[in-house]
Amino acid sequence: MFTGLVEDIGILKAMQSDRDSMKITVQSAKIAEDVKLGDSIAVNGVCLTVTYFTEQTLTMDVMPETVNATNLQQLAVGDSVNLERAMPANGRFGGHFVAGHVDGVGKILCKRPVANAVYIDIELSEELTKFCIPKGSITIDGTSLTLFHVDTNSVTISLIPHTYKETVLGMKKAGAIVNIETDLVGKYILQHLKKGQATPTITRDYLAQHGF
């Protein structure tokens, strides 16, 4: 489990690609300082397992499903990636529940400054936007963010200066592909409603009756 609070920006030092799978090596002394074999690391929001490490680098395998469903396949040596270690049981929970299981990808449409923030419009499929609500949470390239506007095929998020500087989202331009993980709680609720009735209608009474 992760929080979506990016700990470091790593540099992709090496990658090996087969037709359907990958092995990547990422440099980050901060993340590598207390890593163990088998640890889970979120790389651009994708939960990967450490299979080898040094004092400076982490090596991880990427299976076919992950290659096909995320933007990791578009990486090149020298690219920057967001990194986060799994949350310790005694750690502060500062973001939101992030599983590291990417639901799909989106495309940055535009970035625009608004006062001290940068607004980013991101194109999403309707399959993803159905899990999005204004003021709700979303994870973009592993970064926990708040949704400010939701349309049928796009969402808008806002970056404060710290997030813009300390994550790869500040480096990306219009047209860039980003990993999307929608809100975990919302997915469970929608799945529960689908099982309960053909055309789910959420009311206070319905939620109370089903333990929400």
Half-sphere exposure of 32 (CA within 13 A, CB side): 18
Sign of CA dihedral 118, 76, 56, 97: positive
pLDDT (tens digit, 9 = 90+) per residue, 49-99?
999 999 999 999 999 999 999 999 999 999 999 999 998 777 777 778 899
Residues 11-26: what's their mean pLDDT?
94
Extract the tokens encoding 166.
């300390």
DSSP type of residue 93 = -
* Residue among 69, 19, 22 at smallest CA distance from 45: 69
Distance CA 24, CA 87 (A): 22
Residues 25-39: what's their mean pLDDT?
96
Domains of the chain are 8-85 (2.40.30.20), 104-196 (2.40.30.20)
Going by pLDDT thresholds of 50, 70 and 90, the confidence category of residue 204 is: low
So what's the pLDDT on residue 184? 86
So what's the pLDDT on residue 200? 54
Distance CA 59, CA 57 (A): 7
Q: In terms of pTM, does the model score above 0.85?
A: yes
